[in-house]
Structure 1
Amino acid sequence: MTYVFSDITISIDGFAAGLGQTAQKPFGDGPVQELHRWMFEEPESNAAEIAAVATAEAFVMGRNMFGPDRGELDPNWAGWWGPNPPYHGPVFVLSHHKREPLVMDGGTTFTFVNEGIDAALEQAKAAAGPEGRVSIAGGASTVNQYLRAGSIDELRTHIAPVILGEGERLLLDVPARTVSIVSARASALATHITYRIS
């Protein structure tokens, strides 16, 4: 059975991004640069968590994670990551607007799904295969939608020592439930806690 997980970095007050995201400020306003320091400034001490992020055979992401524009998709926008995105597999982007698939270097293809979260997850599961893994890559709104639907098996949070105060919050309007802790580990720039959801 295809396994569905999500890795997401949040502030200690639960925000995955600030307000006011633009092409120049992909994570919005506030001290958001503090969120991902653990990946770039301490890659050795966080190597296991960094490696685990890319273990999926297919990915799902929200429109805002793919790009900053709203409304119609910019046909010239190719994502935040340059010509060789880190996914190296099929990525299904939730969108209300149509766009042809975008083929990138390294085996990444962005496919834009207009039929909602269930359709995107079905396509990702088909691409990953029955024994594969699907990552709900983000952002917070997309992860919340899949948590509300009960579609995520494992939630991996990477909690950065920063308070954002406002922004895109994880676990917004997610129904109450009991989860189990699979693992917990602290480094200087993040506390990594993995939860079994279903």
Structure 2
Amino acid sequence: MPLVRVTNFSISLDGFGAGEPQSFESPFGHAGHRLHEWMFATWADGAPTGIDAVWASRWDTGVGAEIMGAHKFGPPGWQDDPDWRGWWGEDPPFHTPTFVLTHRTREPLEMEGGTTFHFLSTGPEEALAIAQEAAGDLDVRIGGGASTVRAFVSAGLVDHLHLVVVPIVLGHGTRLWDGLEGLEETYAIESVASPSGVVHLSLDRRPGG
């Protein structure tokens, strides 16, 4: 049965998925690229084949659609720029229908490589229904940022989360955990430490959760 999942989502020790303020020059605010250095290392020539590489390789396995928040698609104010086409160039890495949650919609944006951005002004349940129809028999990935992941988890819509805890403290930004008290009652949680210093958390919805 297709799943709704979060994959390779990095957070700091204090639970922030991005720093602030976000801008065109600083997509992750004061966090810079520190939350994602573990993943960048797996892309390098001669990269290790350890646990980080295994998790990183699962990012797009079996995924038929993605849902992301407005701040993942662009910096504040991108809705006012009709020429803004996302951070990723003309061939974004998604290669699936990708649904951007925004209060200001626009026409679908077809990119190279099979990615088409669709802009929705809906709540999590309706957005997920649309994405699941597009994904067919494949999974739907909730791509972030932290507030979007939190909204879908709070609504009881996520089956599996893979979170990567990076050993840095950000102090402020967009925090994942707010309002998710008692999450361990809904999800079975396993953790594996990597030699790189990150900790991979795997959360699977408990039966009846």
Q: What interval of TM-score do these two structures reach, taking the shorter chain for normalisation?
A: over 0.9
Q: Which amino acid aligns with 1:123?
A: I
Aligned residue among 187, 191, 194 for 2:195: 187
Q: Which position in structure 2 is the counterpart of 1:53?
A: 59
- Check conservation: 1:15, 1:169, Cα contact below 8 A: yes
Alpha-carbon deviation of 1:72?
3.6
- In the alignment, structure 2 segments of 5+ residues that lack a partner are none
- Check conservation: 1:6, 1:136, Cα contact below 8 A: yes
- Check conservation: 1:158, 1:190, Cα contact below 8 A: yes
1:17 is the counterpart of 2:24: no
Distance in 1 separating the partners of 2:129 and 2:74: 23
Alpha-carbon deviation of 1:189?
4.0
Tell me how many residue pairs correspond in the alignment.
Answer: 196
| SS of residue matched to 1:106 | helix
Q: Which amino acid aligns with 2:91?
A: N
- In the alignment, structure 1 segments of 5+ residues that lack a partner are none
1:117 is the counterpart of 2:124: yes
1:38 is the counterpart of 2:38: yes
- CA-based RMSD of the aligned residues comes to 1.6
**CA distances 1:99-121 after superposition (whole Å, capped 9, x unpaired):** 11111111000000112222211
Alpha-carbon deviation of 1:185?
4.1
**CA distances 1:82-128 after superposition (whole Å, capped 9, x unpaired):** 11111010101101002111111110000001122222111111111
TM-score after normalising by structure 2 = 0.88
Alpha-carbon deviation of 1:39?
0.8
| 4+ long deviations beyond 4 Å | none
Distance in 2 separating the partners of 1:158 and 1:41: 14
Taking every aligned residue pair, what percent have the same amino acid on both sides? 41
| SS of residue matched to 2:29 | coil
Aligned residue among 148, 164, 169 for 1:163: 169
Q: Which position in structure 1 is the counterpart of 2:2?
A: 2
TM-score after normalising by structure 1 = 0.92
Moved more, 167-176 or 40-49: 40-49
